[in-house]
Amino acid sequence: MEKFQPVRSVAAPLDMQNVDTDMIVPKQFLKTVVRDGLGEALFYDLRFTPEGEKKACFVLNKEPWREAKILVAGENFGCGSSREHAPWALRGFGIRVIVASRFADIFYNNCFQNALLPIVLPEEEVRKLMEQAARGSNAVFSVDLERQEIVTPDGIVPFEIDAERKKTLLEGRDAIVDTLEQLPAIESFEQRQRARNPWLHP
């Protein structure tokens, strides 16, 4: 997994509550088990008409937000099913940071396994950022995970994050890397287990 770097971008305001994973990536795109190409599926039913034409009214179809790397969203973002395709689609589109007052637990956890930074802030702060994001290119945000702050034209907004999750993103770690680092201890355990219980290892 790539290391998380500071992000500087316009922020797309998605002023919707309870955006579920089926809205983020609809069910017809769940056939794939690879991440490539899922960016096109992001918010498909919101971004496209049934005929496949882009909806001019949707924020990610508008300039300058179609290139946004930061998303400011409503409460309870990522609720619904546990599909990991949701963070895959966000990453595929280019989103690196999502700001909301609350995330669904499974989606929140999946973000850290896919180099996405979910930032939880009080609703009042999110509303302020939403208003700034609506200014488009006149309100570029900078997100620095190391310093744990969002820099906006109106000031600096600090945020909290679990130290281990922060380390995971900054070092580009995932569960596989963490497991491989414990390989000597795992192999030592297996050897002891075979010696004590040989019938378990025919």
Is residue 140 pLDDT above 80, yes or no?
A: yes
Is residue 16 pLDDT above 90, yes or no?
A: yes
Is residue 202 pLDDT above 90, yes or no?
A: no
- The tokens 């909301």 sit on which residue? 100
Angle between helices 105-112 and 163-170 (to 10 degrees): 40
User: Token pair for residue 189?
Assistant: 């355990």
Q: Are 158 and 152 in contact (CB under 8 A)?
A: no
Check the CA dihedral 13-15-17-19 and report its sign. negative
Helices (H), 12-136: 21-24, 44-47, 85-93, 105-112, 123-133
Can you give the pTM of this predicted structure?
A: 0.86
CATH top-level class for 7-171? alpha beta
Q: How far apart are CA 56 and CA 84, in angstroms?
A: 28
Could you read off the pLDDT of 95-117 as tens digits, one per residue? 999 999 999 999 999 999 999 99
Could you read off the pLDDT of 48-58 as tens digits, one per residue? 999 999 999 99
The domain locations on the chain are 7-171
